[in-house]
Structure 1
Amino acid sequence: MLFYFSAFLIILLDQLSKWWVRHHMAISEVIPIGGLIHEFRHYENSGMAFSLFQGYARLFGVVALIFISLVLYYRYKGEIHGRVMNVGAGLLVGGAAGNMIDRFWHGTVTDFIVFSDGGGILNLADIALNLGVLLFIAGMILNHYSSREKKRKYP
């Protein structure tokens, strides 16, 4: 249930935030924020991360669909288990789906979050993907040590 809830929540929040940006900000418009989030800047990315491979948004949409299918397959096979891994996988699927929807529907991905460290321009789906990777890896490590401990107790 955590998997589906986190995936759905990310898709919903991501799409609502992008809708707001597309309807209330002109492209390249900047809204200063301050703090960790330096500003909101409306940017339409037709490529992938770091604006690489511009013009291939729909191709990356297909890649996202394949990625989502693989996560669902491994989850079905029982390879993804535990709360942390399921939330991580949900964030990965939600983030990939959020950007995939943009790629297929608009031909671009709406980015708008600029952090104060200057690490590029992101959206909520991108943040969910990054957090999902961290949680997924943490879940793998926790599951590894948990299974090791069980083997030690019950040889």
Structure 2
Amino acid sequence: MLFYIIAILVVISDQLSKYLIRTYIAIDEDFTLWGLQLTHIENSGMAGGLFQGYGVIFGVVAVLFVIGVFYIRRTGEMKGALIDSSFGFLVGGAIGNGIDRLLFGQVTDFIIRTKGVLNIADHAIEMGVLLLIIYGAVSWWLMTSKHK
């Protein structure tokens, strides 16, 4: 259940925030909200603006990724709150950006960071990757400590 709750919350918050940005903020307009520096850009590539114009292809990759996660979850080999949270953030982020890519051919980004401009789905994917690394490290430690 945790997996679904996180994924749904990520998709809703991501899509709502992108809708509000697209509706009320002009492209390349900078603004500050609650102390955060924001700007509205549209990215038809991937992180950092690489591979511009391939948004639909990345959308298809997102769909395949989500299918892969559902397959892994179905096998039941990876269990627990940590991996459910990781997969929830990863799937929610992939769906959030996948929706943009498949509907618009590009992703709405608006949160300014030192290494570029991102959105809520991007941050969810980062959180999912971090949790996946922690899950892997904990799993490895538990496996190696049992054999000693």
TM (norm. structure 1) is 0.88
- RMSD across aligned C-alpha pairs, in angstroms? 1.6
Superposed CA deviations along residues 44-67 of structure 1, whole A, max 9, x for unmatched, are 001111111111100110011111
Distance 1:138 1:78 in 2: 19
Which of 34, 45, 48 does residue 46 from structure 2 map onto?
Answer: 48
Alignment equivalent of 2:57, drawn from 56, 59, 71: 59
Q: Equivalent residue for 2:136?
A: 140
Where does the alignment leave 5 or more consecutive residues of structure 1 unmatched?
A: none
Residue 76 of structure 2: SS of its match in structure 1? coil
Alignment of 1:2-151 (within 5 A): 2-33=2-33, 37=36, 39-115=37-113, 118-149=114-145
| Cα displacement (A) at 1:79 | 2.7
CA distance in 2, matches of 1:105, 1:80: 32
Deviations 1:85-132 (A, max 9, x none): 1101110000011000001111110000002xx210000000000110
**Identity score, percent:** 47
Compute the TM-score of the two structures, normalised by the length of structure 2.
0.92
Divergent runs of 4+, >4 A: 147-152
Give the total of aligned pairs: 148
Which residue identity does 1:82 align to in structure 2?
A: G
Structure 2 SS opposite 1:55: coil
